[in-house]
A and B are shown apart, each in its own frame.
Chain A
Amino acid sequence: MKKNTVIFYGLILAFIIVAPFIFPDFRTQLAALWLMIIVAMTWDMTGGQMGYNSLGNIVFYGTGMYVAAVVTIALAYDVGAYTNAFGGGVYKFTDQQYFLGMLLGILGAGVFCSIIAVVIGFVTFGLRGPYFAIGTLGVAIAAGELVSNWEWVGGGQGIALPVYPGDLDTGKVLFYFLFAVTGVVLFIFLKWLYSTRFGAAINAIRDDEEKAEAMGIHTLRYKLTTWAMSAFFVGVVGGISAFQLIHFEPLETAYQTINLGIFMVVCVLLGGKGTLWGPIIGAILFHVFKEVTWNYFLGWQWVALGALIVVTVVYFQDGVMGYLAHRKPEWFGVRLDDKKAEVSQ
């Protein structure tokens, strides 16, 4: 690595670590920003790098939330009785039960979502282009509806987790770092992954699946592995969110198809599909725009969001990274001479 790169990453890492202490009032928003960055990066794994535009990745977020909640509760109590008792009886959790539940719940959420991804993917990866998008959207809607009718996990009542046992500020710092560590790990993982042969293979699937297949790439296996990895991280952040939110409903919070489920796509498109930094930049732009303006629109925010999607998709589909790559190719390692040579060929 070059010296400049080391300094660059070092500064970013330092900022990530000190940010919640410089801006103590914004810890929750910063945690939400991490959530957005992570779901955007994971969406880009299939959407940007592999060319499979899923509208149903939210299924892993919702499932992650439920798995984390169910695991934590099941360690201490009977889940059915717990969700049934919304009318009476207060269930208590010891610190040990809480933290053990948190650890197992979050990891379990990731692993379970990977498995789900393989199962769903086995079926949906036969669909191409818009059918894949519609099919996955269908899976997401159906999953939410089914869970909301499943009384064992509380049905439409939603499910409530115990409150963080320690003091308030520690709890917030903890949730911030849970998200941040997941995000950093994901970034390092993706940076490595995209540089390997595996990354090249999924790019080949995006560019021309038939040719990739003809070259001997077992496309289904690659597609499933990629989606499973992406689902793992979404499941993990779903699990963390469950603990952070404490109480959540199936349709409005866990399987929020047209909110977070679409936001992640918009973030990626805004920042630039199929790049490492694009989803991150898109998520930051989107989140800051949303947090600064959203609350003052009082009802108009959805009109603004719809307009943002339309404008991004119609006029600005390459996103920030695409724009930069076009205007400043030398930043991306393309020397202008090469470019000229390319043009003249």
Chain B
Amino acid sequence: MDQILINLSLLAEFPIVNLKIILDGVMIGALFALAAYGLALVWGVMNVKNLAQGDFVIAGGYVAWWMTQQGMPPLLGVPVAFIVLWGLGWVIYKTVISRVIERDLFTSLLATFGLAIMMAQLLNLMFGSDTQSVALGYKTLYFFDGLIDVPVAKLIGVLMAATLAIGVILFMKSSRMGQAIRATAQDARAARVLGIDTEKVYAFTFSLNAAICGAAGAIIVMVWIIQPFYGITHSVRAFVIVTAAGLGNLPGVIAAGLGIGALEQYGAHIFGIGYQQAIAVLLLISVLLYRLIQQRRLRQSLQ
């Protein structure tokens, strides 16, 4: 308790720390938002709740890490991870996901949970359970007497995340495939009647999701560390964000991602980082409760 009060007083004493926390949070949140957007996509389009989301992120990270081990430039890892995970996503769609779309929702949840366990362990067997990271070797920018530090690597990461997000938005808005995806999300039957090959749309959406996660992972390995078993952490964040933002609302997902990043950093500062995971999960529960109360007013339940 004392610790919490001291931490709070630190915030008041050094107001600039607030800026630092928000900056850190936003930089993390931007990457959470990427994985969350992928989740919102598959959730909205094909009603699959993918618990292996975080493991796609970690797999992408390992692809990028492996490439730098082979002596290739680290930034190249992002597009390569995008492509490799696209392929992986497609395979997983064909073997597992395509068979659970029409089933009840718990099925997809549990099936992707099985996938998550499998992927984490395969990564462990392939790359070992050491924590890995890629050092970019860029400088760090310092402001306010060194209190605020912005590593150029993180800046590049956030920029890449933003580019990717904008690319996806433009794609969804203007391309034929993007339109088909949005049409399927609105009403799959109607889309089918209008001649849209929904099977193809589903496969494309799921692969795109995996690819976005992979790219996010490739960025994460450059600015934080990864480990085969860290997937669940990213999955939980993605679920928090999507539940908070709702489906099919990209600006909402991004805002929620940044907000949750910042909230988590505040929580870590005030309560100690031992509570970071607990804070993320409690945020998830509070969001669910909030939505539940909203629904109750309409005399409906959250489903």
State if A and B touch, Cβ cutoff 8 Å.
yes
- Mark A residues whose CB is within 8 Å of B: 53, 55, 123, 126-131, 133-135, 138-139, 141-142, 145-146, 148-149, 258, 262, 265, 269, 299-300, 302-303, 305-310, 313-315, 317
Q: What are 27 A-to-B residue pairs whose CB atoms are below 8 Å?
A: A53-B106, A123-B292, A126-B296, A126-B301, A127-B292, A127-B301, A129-B106, A130-B108, A131-B302, A133-B109, A134-B49, A134-B239, A135-B285, A138-B236, A138-B282, A138-B285, A139-B285, A141-B278, A142-B278, A142-B285, A146-B278, A299-B124, A300-B125, A310-B115, A313-B107, A313-B114, A317-B103
Residue of A nearest to B284 (CB): A138
Q: A134–B117 contact, CB under 8 A? A: no
Cβ–Cβ < 8 Å partners of A309 in chain B: 110-111, 113-114, 117
Residue of A nearest to B114 (CB): A309
Q: Is B134 an interface position by the 8 A CB rule?
A: no
Q: A135–B288 contact, CB under 8 A? A: yes
Cβ–Cβ < 8 Å partners of A129 in chain B: 104-106, 303
> What is the 8 Å Cβ interface bit string for chain B, positions 271-303, against chain A (1 contact, 0 not)?
010110110011011001100100110000111
Q: A130–B109 contact, CB under 8 A? A: yes
- Mark B residues whose CB is within 8 Å of A: 49, 96, 99-100, 103-111, 113-122, 124-125, 232, 236, 239, 243, 272, 274-275, 277-278, 281-282, 284-285, 288-289, 292, 295-296, 301-303
Q: A123–B289 contact, CB under 8 A? A: yes
A138 to B284, CA, bound (A): 7
Which 5 residue pairs of A and B lie closest in terms of their CB atoms, listed nearest first?
A306-B118, A309-B114, A128-B303, A145-B278, A302-B121
Q: A303–B118 contact, CB under 8 A? A: yes
Closest CB in chain B relative to A76 CB, distance in Å: 28
Q: A299–B121 contact, CB under 8 A? A: yes
Closest CB in chain B relative to A332 CB, distance in Å: 23
Q: A134–B105 contact, CB under 8 A? A: no
Cβ–Cβ < 8 Å partners of A299 in chain B: 121, 124-125
Residue of B nearest to A311 (CB): B114
A93 to B122, CA, bound (A): 46
Residue of A nearest to B111 (CB): A313
**Interface SS of chain B:** helix
Cβ–Cβ < 8 Å partners of A146 in chain B: 278
Q: Which listed residue (A130, A134, A302, A314) contacts B118, Cβ 8 A?
A: A302
Residue of A nearest to B293 (CB): A126
Chain B CB within 10 Å — which of A141, A299, A303, A314 has the most? A314
Given contacts A149-B274, A302-B118, contact A134 B284 (CB under 8 A): yes
Cβ–Cβ < 8 Å partners of B278 in chain A: 141-142, 145-146, 149
Q: B106–A134 contact, CB under 8 A? A: no
Q: B106–A126 contact, CB under 8 A? A: no
Residue of A nearest to B125 (CB): A299
Cβ–Cβ < 8 Å partners of B282 in chain A: 138, 142
Q: A310–B277 contact, CB under 8 A? A: no
A178 to B120, CA, bound (A): 36
Residue of B nearest to A155 (CB): B274
Cβ–Cβ < 8 Å partners of B108 in chain A: 130
Cβ–Cβ < 8 Å partners of B289 in chain A: 123
Residue of A nearest to B129 (CB): A299
Closest CB in chain A relative to B78 CB, distance in Å: 27
A126 to B291, CA, bound (A): 10
Q: B292–A306 contact, CB under 8 A? A: no
Q: B277–A145 contact, CB under 8 A? A: yes
Q: B275–A145 contact, CB under 8 A? A: yes
Residue of B nearest to A156 (CB): B274
Q: A303–B121 contact, CB under 8 A? A: yes
Besides A299-B124, A299-B125, A302-B120, 16 more A-B contacts (Cβ < 8 Å) are A123-B289, A123-B292, A126-B302, A129-B106, A134-B284, A134-B288, A135-B288, A141-B277, A142-B281, A262-B117, A302-B121, A305-B117, A313-B100, A313-B111, A313-B114, A314-B96
